[in-house]
Structure 1
Amino acid sequence: MKKNIKKAAIFFSLLFFITNCIYAQDTGDSRALSQIITTLQEAYDIQFNYAEDVINEISLKPPAKKLPLPEVLAYLENHTGLSFALMNDSFILVKPRADIILCGYLKDRDNLRALASATVQTSDRFTTSDENGFFQIKIKNVSQLITIRYLGYGTITRSYDQFKRSGCEDVYLQPDLQLLSQVIISNYITSGINKIDNGSFQIDFSNLKILPGLIDNDVLQSVQAFPGIQSVNETVSNINIRGGTHDQNLMLWDDIKMYQSGHFFGLISMYNPHITQKVSLRKNGSHVSYSDGVSGTIAMQTDHKVNSEFKGVIGVNLIDVNGFADIPINESSSIQVAARKSISDFVETPTYSAFFDRISQNTEVASNVMAITNTNKTFDFYDTSLRWIYNINDKEELRVNFINAHNQLQFNENAIIDETEESRDSRLDQNSIAGALHYKRVWSDTFSTDLEIYETDYKLRAINVNILDSQRFLQENIVSETSTKLKVSYILDTRLQLLNGYHFVETEVTNLDDVDNPLFRSLISEVVRTHSVFSQVDYKTLDNKTNLNIGLRYNYIGKFNKSILEPRLSFNHRFFKHFTLEVLGEFKHQNVSQVINFQNDFLGIEKRRWQLSNNKDIPVITSKQISMGLNYSYDGWLIAVDGFYKIIDGITTQSQGFQNQYEFVKSQGRYDVKGVDVLLRKHIERFNTWLSYSYMNNRYLFKDLETNYFPSNYNISHTATLGMTYALNNLKVSAGFNWHSGKPTTKPVFGNEIINERVNYEATNASTLNDYLRLDVSATYNFKLANKARANLGISVWNILDKENQINNFYRVKDGNITETVQNSLGFTPNAVFRVYF
């Protein structure tokens, strides 16, 4: 596997080098018109007179040297669409032509059928094609972009000079063999967050303005803005969707399943915000092609179209420095590359200090036994991402994705042994590397296939030294997964589509415990293979008021000779113009879960180990859930109410994070959760405000432990968020209050706390911690730096009130007395960012 990973890394490095070379060859001759004019003024001793906005963003190859001036001006007119009028021997007036017209006939590429009522638009004009597919539109200059859209066909965006200009030529559109999902509620919470008719929510980061406490588009912090989504310990590595555990979330990055979600061990997302353009969140009603994620799905996507213009971003905040480049290779191919690196090697900021103190609370990193001191504590992280698209021809598309993320924590343990000072290193490394290939083929205007192949690898490795006992404890948790998925789409008519497919997944999980004194080694490696076939029917009514997706997935797990049927349902109906009814349902399963081991952990920082189901003491997890929602949207108002009920079966006590009498007990059980999510939002011109509330009753049933239900460790009964955003020209500000009732806890029995030197606990999770309250603020300002460059400056404060919120506690017996350990949330945490876009 290591050799394969190295080969993949070499392949993507070569790919990046080659495409950069190609790009340099393809675009190196083009220059900005302003630069060409400056050169011509010196060469011909003339003066050009023009308005900046007339020539802005126009680039072309310079005219040949030593041409007569009239031929130079003719060349510029032909390639810019501008008028270059020679007023006298030394003065030339540059102005837009009054009659740059683009015309053409829109046709289906496969059957040459004329496409009527297609939309053709520029930044300031639009028109539609007639019954013959004919259109014409006025253009400002030859570099202006023209976008052509038609329902059921792929959108094309080109500049004027990319069209054939000898008369009105045919323009072909490629059928898009997917029934287009529609936005039924735009700006669901704030600008850029929408609700889709298939039951999912979508965040479009290109339109997302700002959220409280965030100045970067942190993917996994942003999804927590939705009702019913939260993290009981403020980390993106412990996101709870309607009371589920984090390992029950299907996390996808461009359809690659990811087993790591955060940097700083969960305090920020590991997915680069510049290359990740959209996020789709599903609490229920998953698409039939998805497996795993019994509690919910978070699917992140890069831009899936070839880009024709170079774009770049360089930024720095109080945690990391980052960069992004969107590089067109030619008309049919483009590549995106993004990278981030922590700045803790160079400077220790207040944000870094707050994060480090938060992750190391009550761990060996923060404090050791009295005879040992810890020094040289360092933390570092980086990530790199790549997306390459190649339109092989009008019918075939190839897309390649690659991601690599790494966290490293290191410190020295020091002690005086036999009057000699000794020092040894302890360290923790967390790494994810994954690559995928997507190939799409359009066979006809009704039939297409998609092939998706990925390899994803996750590794957590810790070396924990005990300097007093001369002991080294090595621990590893490794996940390696290979997936192949084939989807076959067939359009029965303009409103009905059939999807069939096959999915194969092989997952290997390895756990290693290795002690050198005394010698002990435990290596457990298990593999599970799953074969699945699925089918789904998507239907829309002619008036687009009703959308129905209904499907069935059959899974066969060969190792256990186990068959699982999973029906899926998504129904949406608009009525009375402003009302929408939604019904969602699904059955799902997953073979991989996490063990939370507070004693035998990775230095106390990362307590979670991935493990495979064995169909015995670690069963396959299954889920059933149903939800019904009603939405009202009119005149800037939105009222959304969504009731839900779900049952998750096959969980284990090890996966639930008990720190009471069941901490070392191994038992199987289930939980069910019912509740309601409510959202009230009002948009008034530049001002947007929302109030969300969630109620849930989340309870366990472990029959081997207790005969009755008892509250779940994730039973946050009441959650409320009050947020606002305000935008004025280039300035955007946001603030938000976050409140929820306390996390359940199990206290010792008052007055009889210890029995037989063990804690005597009250009824399980009968108490709660104090209520949680946090106020976050953020602000960003955009401004122009140059003709093709702009900048963004932002500041934020997380927990501006510096409130000490309790997020966890546990009790121990020490020297015959009860001790309580309380873990607190992040305190006052400022951040700032400066970015340049070019």
Structure 2
Amino acid sequence: MLETLRNSFIGLSSVFLLLVFCPVLAQEEQKSATPLVSYIKDLENTFNIKFSYLNEDLEDISVNVPNNLVNLDDILNYIETQFQLETEKLNDRYYAITKSTLITLCGSVLDNFAENTVSGATIEVLGSNVAQITESNGSFRLTDVPRDASLKIRYLGYLTKYINVEDLLKQGGCPKILLAQHYEQLNEVIVYQFLTTGIIKETDASITLNTADFGILPGLIEPDILQTVQALPGIKSIDETVSDINVRGGTNDQNLILWNGIKMYQSGHFFGLISAFNPYLTDKVTVIKNGTPPAFGDGVSSVIQMETNNEIPDYFSGGAGLNLISGDLYGQIPITHKIGFQFSARRSSTDFLNTPTYNQFFDRAFQDSEVTNQNNVSVDDDIDREENFFFYDFTGKLLYDINDFHKLRLNFITIANSLDYVETNTETLETTNSILDQTNLSVGGQLQSQWTDRLSTHLNVYYSRYNLDAQSIFSNQVQQLDQKNIVDERAVKLHSQYELSEQLEWANGFQYIETGIVNRAFVTLPSFDTNTKGVIRIHAPYSGINFHSQENKFIAMAGARVNFVENLNTFSELLVEPRINLNFKLANYLRMEFLGEFKSQTTNQVIDLEQNFLGIEKRRWTLSDDNNLPITKSKQGSVGFNYEKNNFYLGLEGFYKNVDGISTRTQGFQNQNQFNGEIGSYDVKGLEFLINKRGDNYSTWLSYTYNKNDYNFDSIVPNSFPNNLDIRHTITFAGTYNYKNLKLSLGINYRTGKPFTEPLDGDEGLDTSVFPTRINYKSPNSSRLDDYFRADASAIYKFNLSRGVKANAGISLINMTNRKNSLNKYYRVNEDDEIETVESISLGLTPNVSFRVSF
């Protein structure tokens, strides 16, 4: 009996073990795959047959045939289905195995992290029109796919993936394709969004403008880059132009303007009334007023850096538009998944079409001066005017992803203005002819490399050439003035970034910049001819540390730049420029920032022959020579506070800036110091305040800027007096409102008048004892123009022309009240030895309309 029980227990145990372990063993057996070439040899031995095939077709394929398949036909059918192969029976003994040219492909797309299915992902066969969207379970099935093709798989929030069809086939069946989620490293600290959508203040105090997200601002119906930056506190144009932007009391030549890493020496069209950069390809604009990273030299007032889209587009997109001044078009073209191309082009209609906007701009540029004699009586000459004026710009960018770690970008931009202008006095029959050609041509290349997870480099090489040719013929060709200004610059800049830890980065770099400038002036009567040439070379290593603490309670950048400057004709100098940028969390929603920098620049714009060439384009680039014009150097420090909660933002920043090494020739003097060329400095003490409240469909703001800007010249009496750009108080009140597809904006700008210098009263105002007769002036900049006031409005309506074509129409009004604002006032002696007053007047009521399409 016991023996029987024992045998029964052993039998049951054996059955139990078989039930438990046999599936596991079977599963382990099924998991092991055999190279297909080896498996075919086993079939040859088993079934006494022979296969003909190419080793390269099968060598990377492994097979795992289910155990329940024992028939040769079933086994071959399985291999055909799994690996898209074709088997052909040549006779009873010989078979041929070949690859299918067109195959059917299936698979499923999953999240790489959680392996959740990704529905709605786009599966595209590159080089063909075959494409499909994954089902709700992430699956897809494509037919008639070339075996040598590649797939492009993309979905919002994930990295786009490229994979060869052949690689998928080698996995057999319907393989799983894992997409990696797209993570962007964002600062955990709040970035402050204000004014309108697309304008952000970063934690390093720089301002970022994302043009694709840009909303609307008063007076603007297109996101003109250099007009938009003037909406920011501390940035204005005293003469209403984009080519003369004044940042914290500085002149325009003290701004470093970069386009894709290339320094630009021309920034405007229509003599500065229109920005020369296409905003629809510009992806991001960064404005830095202080605390500049050491990678940036030059520009003692600010850095304005424009960057176009740097990613190869997934599909063709573009747009075109017209307004009352010009027309433009742009496009982004994917050539392959590794090569893309961008372009933009714009041309004015001013040489064949007169519009109200053109007439107002033309009056502002040429006929904006009211002339009165010493008795304050208007001097009105009967003048016939004839002009032929046009401008254009063109940009191109080639994007090439060499591989996942190296990207090459090639950039090109050309900007041009051309004018032929004739004035004829119908009373005296005297004719004045002015001819101008102004161009900027720049090319550059950038190589971005990711060497390891921690180390990356950026190599930037560019060549830029600016050319100004101006000719003025006076009094029926009795006198002729020729001016030429050429800037020729080439640079090599290498920047590296190394991540020492998750919280600490080390940036290093070296820059070589060579700038050559030619200035020539030729006058026939009296005979005068001057031609100056100069070359400056700058060797600049730099280094900086970037740190952020846990939860970003403290963020810091500290570094220094060393500039070794050599002017091949006169001097060399070594400059050390420390930079610091600190940001502290004081309390919830409240942060404090402390910024400081030393900077220098070796190129400036001198303003010569102030009253020649109709006062239009009289600025010429020149180099520091340590004699007539030293290197311009600046020191700046600022303290700011930022508070934001529930879409309510409040910012307050106080600063002090000293700029040394300026000349009266670079500051636009129009008084007794106009041609003396004294060297001095200016100091600016300022306060910038902004309060902004935003809602789902509105934004309203009030900004106030206080500047006290004084010159210091040892050789001028008095030594200290107000700067030509000393605008003490500036106030802006504006708002935007969105209703469905309609955007509206209204704003008011107020500022106190700029300083100017008046002649002495009565007969003392003229000195007739010298030739030519000279004006005797009061103390420099002891008078001020009337206060400036301007109200602007704009509206944009968006709509769809078709499923893939979007459109918008816009209208704007500049200076709605048609107020005559005085922008400048100076004095001159006429032919009768009398003092005339010349006053420049702002734009009058200026309408503009636009229509744009995008696809």
Asked whether the two chains share a fold, i.e. TM above 0.5, the reply is yes
Match of 1:789 among 793, 802, 805: 805
Where does the alignment leave 5 or more consecutive residues of structure 1 unmatched?
1-76, 82-99, 107-115, 125-135, 150-155
Within the alignment, does 1:257 sit opposite 2:263 as a pair? yes
Within the alignment, does 1:574 sit opposite 2:580 as a pair? no
Rounded Cα–Cα distance in structure 1 between residues aligned with 2:496 and 2:762: 67
Match of 1:314 among 303, 309, 320: 320
Could you say which residue in structure 1 is the equivalent of 2:420?
410
Match of 1:458 among 466, 475, 480: 466
Could you say which residue in structure 1 is the equivalent of 2:340?
334
Amino acid at match of 1:194: I
Q: Cα distance, 1:229 vs. partner? A: 0.4
* Number of corresponding residues: 711
Instruction: Say if 1:682 and 1:173 are closer, same or farther in 2 by CA, change over 3 A.
Output: closer
Is contact 1:811-1:819 (8 Å) kept? yes
Could you say which residue in structure 1 is the equivalent of 2:66?
none
Q: Cα distance, 1:361 vs. partner? A: 3.0
Match of 2:576 among 565, 580, 584: 565
Is contact 1:260-1:432 (8 Å) kept? yes
Q: Please list the CA deviations of residues 746-782 of structure 1 after superposition, one character each: whole Å capped at 9, or x if unmatched.
A: 2234456524244333222122111100000000011
Q: Please list the CA deviations of residues 225-268 of structure 1 after superposition, one character each: whole Å capped at 9, or x if unmatched.
A: 10110011000111000100100000011111001111001001
Could you say which residue in structure 1 is the equivalent of 2:213?
207
Rounded Cα–Cα distance in structure 1 between residues aligned with 2:109 and 2:344: 36
Tell me the SS of whatever aligns to 1:351.
Answer: helix
Match of 1:400 among 406, 410, 413: 410
Could you say which residue in structure 1 is the equivalent of 2:156?
147
Is contact 1:147-1:158 (8 Å) kept? no
Could you say which residue in structure 2 is the equivalent of 1:833?
850
Rounded Cα–Cα distance in structure 2 between residues aligned with 1:534 and 1:598: 39
Rounded Cα–Cα distance in structure 2 between residues aligned with 1:825 and 1:380: 22
Q: Cα distance, 1:819 vs. partner? A: 2.4
Q: Cα distance, 1:614 vs. partner? A: 0.1
Could you say which residue in structure 1 is the equivalent of 2:837?
820
Instruction: Say if 1:158 and 1:340 are closer, same or farther in 2 by CA, change over 3 A.
Output: farther
Q: Cα distance, 1:573 vs. partner? A: 2.2
Rounded Cα–Cα distance in structure 2 between residues aligned with 1:797 and 1:669: 41
Within the alignment, does 1:343 sit opposite 2:359 as a pair? no
Deviates more, 1:815-824 or 1:723-732: 815-824
Amino acid at match of 2:783: S
Amino acid at match of 2:814: W
* Identity across the alignment (%): 40
Q: Cα distance, 1:363 vs. partner? A: 7.7
Q: Please list the CA deviations of residues 615-645 of structure 1 after superposition, one character each: whole Å capped at 9, or x if unmatched.
A: 1120000000011110110112111000100
Within the alignment, does 1:385 sit opposite 2:395 as a pair? yes
Match of 2:671 among 635, 647, 660: 660
Is contact 2:639-2:653 (8 Å) kept? yes
Instruction: Say if 1:342 and 1:693 are closer, same or farther in 2 by CA, change over 3 A.
Output: same
Tell me the SS of whatever aligns to 2:212.
Answer: coil
Is contact 2:446-2:461 (8 Å) kept? yes
Could you say which residue in structure 1 is the equivalent of 2:435?
427
Match of 1:480 among 481, 488, 499: 488
Tell me the SS of whatever aligns to 2:676.
Answer: coil
Could you say which residue in structure 2 is the equivalent of 1:437?
445
Instruction: Say if 1:577 and 1:123 are closer, same or farther in 2 by CA, change over 3 A.
Output: farther
Within the alignment, does 1:355 sit opposite 2:361 as a pair? yes
Instruction: Say if 1:812 and 1:513 are closer, same or farther in 2 by CA, change over 3 A.
Output: closer
Could you say which residue in structure 2 is the equivalent of 1:303?
309
Tell me the SS of whatever aligns to 1:493.
Answer: coil
Is contact 1:145-1:160 (8 Å) kept? no
Q: Please list the CA deviations of residues 106-154 of structure 1 after superposition, one character each: whole Å capped at 9, or x if unmatched.
A: 6xxxxxxxxx999999899xxxxxxxxxxx99779999952346xxxxx
Could you say which residue in structure 2 is the equivalent of 1:768?
784
Q: Please list the CA deviations of residues 49-99 of structure 1 after superposition, one character each: whole Å capped at 9, or x if unmatched.
A: xxxxxxxxxxxxxxxxxxxxxxxxxxxx989x9xxxxxxxxxxxxxxxxxx
What's the TM-score, normalizing by structure 2? 0.78
CA RMSD of aligned residues (A): 3.3
**Pairing 1:34-73 to 2, within 5 Å after superposition:** none
Amino acid at match of 2:842: S
Rounded Cα–Cα distance in structure 2 between residues aligned with 1:137 and 1:490: 42
Tell me the SS of whatever aligns to 1:277.
Answer: strand
**Pairing 1:548-697 to 2, within 5 Å after superposition:** 548-559=556-567, 560-599=571-610, 601-697=612-708
Rounded Cα–Cα distance in structure 2 between residues aligned with 1:287 and 1:581: 19
Tell me the SS of whatever aligns to 1:222.
Answer: helix
Where does the alignment leave 5 or more consecutive residues of structure 2 unmatched?
1-102, 123-134, 142-151, 372-378, 769-773
Q: Cα distance, 1:379 vs. partner? A: 1.2
Match of 2:554 among 542, 546, 549: 546
Rounded Cα–Cα distance in structure 2 between residues aligned with 1:102 and 1:428: 61
Match of 2:536 among 509, 514, 528: 528
What's the TM-score, normalizing by structure 1? 0.79
Tell me the SS of whatever aligns to 1:265.
Answer: coil
Rounded Cα–Cα distance in structure 2 between residues aligned with 1:546 and 1:138: 45
Q: Cα distance, 1:405 vs. partner? A: 0.6
Rounded Cα–Cα distance in structure 2 between residues aligned with 1:358 and 1:796: 17
Is contact 1:181-1:198 (8 Å) kept? no
Instruction: Say if 1:241 and 1:262 are closer, same or farther in 2 by CA, change over 3 A.
Output: same
Tell me the SS of whatever aligns to 2:229.
Answer: helix
Is contact 1:472-1:515 (8 Å) kept? yes
Instruction: Say if 1:364 and 1:528 are closer, same or farther in 2 by CA, change over 3 A.
Output: farther
Q: Please list the CA deviations of residues 480-508 of structure 1 after superposition, one character each: whole Å capped at 9, or x if unmatched.
A: 11110011221111221111111000001
Is contact 1:105-1:168 (8 Å) kept? no
Deviates more, 1:459-468 or 1:323-332: 459-468
Deviates more, 1:770-779 or 1:157-166: 157-166
Instruction: Say if 1:676 and 1:519 are closer, same or farther in 2 by CA, change over 3 A.
Output: closer
Deviates more, 1:197-206 or 1:510-519: 510-519
Amino acid at match of 2:393: D
Instruction: Say if 1:639 and 1:288 are closer, same or farther in 2 by CA, change over 3 A.
Output: same
Q: Please list the CA deviations of residues 554-579 of structure 1 after superposition, one character each: whole Å capped at 9, or x if unmatched.
A: 11012322100001111112342211
Instruction: Say if 1:794 and 1:459 are closer, same or farther in 2 by CA, change over 3 A.
Output: same
Instruction: Say if 1:415 and 1:222 are closer, same or farther in 2 by CA, change over 3 A.
Output: closer
Q: Please list the CA deviations of residues 295-331 of structure 1 after superposition, one character each: whole Å capped at 9, or x if unmatched.
A: 1111111011111111010100000000011111111
Tell me the SS of whatever aligns to 1:236.
Answer: coil
Could you say which residue in structure 2 is the equivalent of 1:246?
252
Is contact 2:370-2:839 (8 Å) kept? no
